[in-house]
Amino acid sequence: MAYCLNTNVTGDFNSAMVSVREKLAAAGFGVLSEIDISAKMKEKLGVDFRPYIILGACNPPYAHKALTAEPYIGTMLPCNVIVQEWEDGRVEVSAINPVASMQAVENPALIEIAVVIRDKLQGVIKALQVETS
């Protein structure tokens, strides 16, 4: 089972960031955190790295269900979504497949929640594909 869901998008990196945030919001996700990997690599290591941002996305009702079903599941939250620009100029969006990550926990209640969240994230990825077609 693939651990992430991916799509390439048309347009530039900044446009992709706007679209991803819009599609996440439409699917019921808020962005709790944003990590600019490019900036951190420059700051901490003095190296240049391609545009790469990690968004920590959360769907509050399902996060609550997951935390109620498994008290330590917060170690695996929020759902990470990345936007990165490759050297050839392609912009790619990837999201965690929560079904793959939740298998390690072995809690049937979490798998049910993970399936719903996976489907929502797949919807985001598909919406981005439609937008770029």
Residue type, 31: V
Residue 68, domain member (yes or no): yes
Whose tokens are 């945030």? That residue is: 21
We report the CATH number of the domain holding residue 120 as 3.30.310.70
CA 49 to chain CA mean position, Å: 20
Residue 74, domain member (yes or no): yes
Residue 133, domain member (yes or no): no
Nearest Cα to 83, choosing from 47, 128, 122? 128
Tell me: the pLDDT tens digits for 45-79? 999 999 999 999 999 999 999 999 999 999 999 99
Tell me: the pLDDT tens digits for 17-51? 999 999 999 999 999 999 999 999 999 999 999 99
Residue 41, domain member (yes or no): yes
Residue type, 27: A
pTM above threshold 0.75: yes
Backbone angles phi, psi at 87, to 5 degrees: -60, -30
Residue 11, domain member (yes or no): yes
Specify the higher pLDDT residue, 64 or 1: 64
Check residue 132 and give its pLDDT: 67
User: Across the strands, what pairs with 55?
Assistant: 34, 81
Residue 60, domain member (yes or no): yes
- Whole-number Å distance between alpha carbons of 26 and 45: 36
Residue 96, domain member (yes or no): yes
- Whole-number Å distance between alpha carbons of 62 and 84: 27
Domain containing 16 equals 4-126
Residue 9, domain member (yes or no): yes
**Would you say residue 133 has pLDDT above 90?**
no
Q: At CB < 8 A and 24+ separation, what contacts does 61-70 make?
A: 61/28, 62/113, 62/116, 62/117, 65/109, 65/113, 66/110, 66/113, 69/107, 69/109, 69/110, 69/113, 70/105, 70/107, 70/109, 70/110
* Region 70-98 average pLDDT: 96
**Would you say residue 110 has pLDDT above 80?**
yes
Q: How many structural domains comprise the chain?
A: 1
